[in-house]
């Protein structure tokens, strides 16, 4: 079995990152196009909410099962399936004649993104080792940060170019040429499936169903509560608890009876993985909420256009892009302390943003300039969190389990995002309803994001202290769980 790295690994990574960027961009880019959808399709507020939340729900629904299928049935196969479906649903969404069709297509598009996303991390696990893996995760971390922050800017540019009434369609059409090109290059560059792969394990379908019910029942009331907490179906949380408890019991039984559970809970007994997953879920709760409340405040409170809103948040993306690449290269050297420093910088940047917004309350002309520097600082800190934390979390996970581990990790991130948006949205809209003051609402909303990032910082410090007490080197990325899987062309 050859342990030589695949000479095409960096080109293969570039294809994976382009596809990952598209799937993550579609979480944020759609927000600025909602008024255009309302004008062009006559969509109701509830339908617009489902255009956004439906994608997030089905994205999170299939991540774990998709990761497991990638591990067992082939990452390349699952990647091409997900990317092809994502490209087709992008075309269908852009052509949607009614709001109902658009919502249905967005649900399917979320499934496509969920099929695709764990394979990106799985390929990084397969193709890279040592410092190279950290660099690859750094590039992926930059994609995560940039796609989240730059979505409003790209959406604003498309709407400014195509007009409001039908401009929303181009938010989806823009994916088509990129998706087709990515499919062509993926077919040529991604390593073939099946070479050296272990025999297929049967898919744990009951486990997948129980986990899916648990995740959807947890996320649905959270995503529906962002604007109107009182109307959310909170009773589904009880269903979620029951389904997840049944999932745990079933997985333990499956492990004992045939040894092929959907999720091997030995993953969670790997301390670096459990700590990284918990920190990542908490950080994403605060990180993604920043853009939610800022978009609302800038567009609705200060009258910014979608393009102006996107430009105002671009500094975060720039800061994140620079430090993600740097953090990925240095994580094997500095380890967990880098994540802790990054969280502290994010926290300082968010506090400074809150102060800047308070100082320029109601002054649309001054606000964008006032928060440019503070968002740059927060983004720079964020770049030292996402990629290094993911590298450390997966450092001790064998490549053969990389897809499943990535699916669990990303499901936690999606749940964290839903929890954060629900909490921040409830506080933001509650304050706005009580006072009618947009400046007060954004300040209260940012306080919640600051609190969530502070919790992530406490978790990071606690793990760092615990590691040092045990005498474990916190730079877990230096650990190499094994040789890369052999790869080859078709």
Mind listing the pLDDT tens digit for each residue in 46-62? 788 788 878 888 888 88
Rounded to the nearest 10 degrees, what angle do helices 99-127 and 75-94 cross at? 150
Does 229 share its domain with 358?
no
**In a domain? residue 287:** yes
CA dist 103 and 327 (Å) reads 38
All residue ranges of the chain with pLDDT < 70 are 1-3, 164, 194-201, 226-228, 258-259, 471-490
pTM score, whole prediction: 0.82
- How high is the pLDDT of residue 255? 78
Among 242, 261, 280, give the residue marking a domain's end: 261
- How high is the pLDDT of residue 388? 87
CA dist 424 and 54 (Å) reads 19
**In a domain? residue 451:** yes
Give the structural domain span for 214.
204-261
Any idea what the CATH number is for the domain that residue 470 is in?
1.20.1250.20
Burial 130-148 (b: 16+ CB within 10 A, else e): ebbbbbbbbbbbbbbbbbb
206 C-beta neighbours (distance < 10 Å), count: 15
Does 16 share its domain with 83?
yes
- How high is the pLDDT of residue 490? 37
- How high is the pLDDT of residue 226? 66
Output the six-digit token pair for 7. Answer: 């000479």
Output the six-digit token pair for 168. Answer: 């929303």
Residue owning tokens 């989806």: 172
Does 366 share its domain with 221?
no
Does 235 share its domain with 384?
no
**In a domain? residue 462:** yes
**In a domain? residue 137:** yes
**In a domain? residue 484:** no
- How high is the pLDDT of residue 485? 42
**In a domain? residue 354:** yes
**In a domain? residue 490:** no
* Residue 339 near residue 392, CB atoms below 8 Å: yes
Does 270 share its domain with 228?
no
Among 261, 290, 306, give the residue marking a domain's end: 261
Does 232 share its domain with 280?
no
SS (H, E, C) the chain: CCCCCCCCHHHHHHHHHHHHHHHHHHHHCCHHHHHHHHHHHCCCHHHHHHHHHHHHHHHHHHHHHHHHHHHHHCHHHHHHHHHHHHHHHHHHHHCCCCHHHHHHHHHHHHHHHHHHHHHHHHHHHHHCCHHHHHHHHHHHHHHHHHHHHHHHHHHHHHHHHHCHHHHHHHHHHCHHHHHHHHHHHHHHHCCCCCCCCCCCCCCCHHHHHHHHHHHHHHHHHHHHCCCCHHHCCCCHHHHHHHHHHHHHHHHHHHHHHCCCCCCCHHHHHCHHHHHHHHHHHHHHHHHHHHHHHHHHHHHHHCCCCHHHHHHHHHHHHHHHHHHHHHHHHHHHHHCHHHHHHHHHHHHHHHHHHHHHHHHCCCCHHHHHHHHHHHHHHHHHHHHCCHHHHHHHHHCCCCHHHHHHHHHHHHHHHHHHHHHHHHHHHHHHHHHHHHHCCHHHHHHHHHHHHHHHHHHHHHHHHHHHHHHHHHCCCCCHHHCCCCCCCCCCCC
Output the six-digit token pair for 317. Answer: 């993306």
7 exposed, middle or buried (CB, 10 Å; 0-12, 13-18, 19+)?
exposed
Does 241 share its domain with 150?
no
Does 230 share its domain with 348?
no
Among 261, 280, 300, give the residue marking a domain's end: 261
Does 441 share its domain with 472?
yes
- How high is the pLDDT of residue 119? 92
- How high is the pLDDT of residue 175? 93
As for how many domains the chain has, the answer is: 2
Does 88 share its domain with 223?
no
**In a domain? residue 160:** yes
Does 39 share its domain with 73?
yes
Does 252 share its domain with 270?
no
């Amino acid at each position: 079995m050859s342990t030589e790295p695949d000479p095409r690994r960096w080109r293969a990574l570039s294809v994976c990152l382009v596809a990952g960027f598209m799937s993550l961009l579609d979480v944020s880019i759609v927000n600025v196009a909602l008024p255009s959808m309302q004008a062009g399709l006559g969509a109701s507020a509830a339908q617009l909410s489902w255009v956004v939340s439906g994608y997030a729900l089905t994205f999170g629904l299939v991540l774990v099962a998709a990761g497991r299928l990638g591990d067992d049935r082939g990452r390349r196969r699952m990647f091409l399936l997900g990317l092809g479906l994502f490209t087709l649903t992008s075309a269908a969404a852009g052509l949607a004649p009614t709001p109902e069709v658009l919502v249905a297509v967005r649900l399917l598009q979320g499934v496509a993104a969920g099929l695709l996303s764990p394979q990106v991390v799985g390929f990084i696990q397969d193709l890279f080792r040592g410092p190279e893996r950290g660099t690859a995760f750094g590039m992926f971390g930059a994609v995560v940060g940039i796609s989240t922050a730059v979505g409003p800017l790209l959406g604003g540019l498309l709407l400014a170019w195509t007009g409001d009434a039908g401009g929303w369609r181009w938010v989806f059409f823009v994916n088509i040429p990129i998706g087709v090109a990515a499919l062509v290059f993926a077919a040529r560059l991604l390593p073939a499936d099946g070479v050296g792969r272990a025999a297929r394990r049967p898919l744990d379908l009951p486990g997948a169903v129980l986990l899916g019910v648990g995740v959807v029942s947890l996320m649905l009331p959270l995503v529906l509560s962002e604007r109107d907490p009182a109307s959310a179906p909170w009773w589904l949380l009880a269903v979620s608890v029951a389904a997840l408890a049944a999932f745990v019991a079933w997985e333990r039984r499956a492990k004992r009876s045939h040894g092929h559970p959907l999720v091997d809970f030995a993953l969670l007994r790997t301390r670096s993985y459990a700590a990284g997953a918990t920190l990542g879920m908490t950080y994403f709760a605060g990180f993604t909420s920043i853009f939610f409340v800022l978009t609302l405040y800038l567009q609705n409170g200060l009258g910014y256009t979608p393009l102006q809103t996107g430009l105002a948040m671009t500094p975060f993306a720039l800061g994140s892009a620079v430090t993600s690449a740097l953090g990925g290269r240095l994580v094997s050297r500095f380890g967990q302390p880098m994540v802790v420093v990054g969280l502290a910088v994010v926290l300082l940047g968010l506090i400074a943003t809150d102060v800047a917004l308070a100082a320029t309350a109601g002054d649309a002309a001054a606000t964008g300039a006032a928060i440019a520097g503070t968002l740059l600082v927060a983004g720079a800190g964020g770049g030292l969190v996402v990629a290094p934390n993911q590298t450390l979390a997966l450092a001790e996970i064998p490549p053969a389990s990389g897809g499943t581990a990535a699916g669990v990790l990303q499901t936690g991130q999606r749940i964290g995002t839903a929890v954060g948006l629900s909490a921040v949205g409830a506080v933001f809209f509650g304050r706005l309803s009580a006072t009618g003051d947009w400046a007060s609402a954004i300040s209260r909303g940012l306080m919640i994001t600051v609190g969530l990032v502070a919790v992530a910082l406490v978790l990071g410090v606690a793990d760092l202290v615990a590691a040092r007490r045990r005498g474990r080197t916190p730079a877990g990325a230096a650990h190499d769980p094994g040789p890369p899987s052999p790869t080859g062309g078709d």
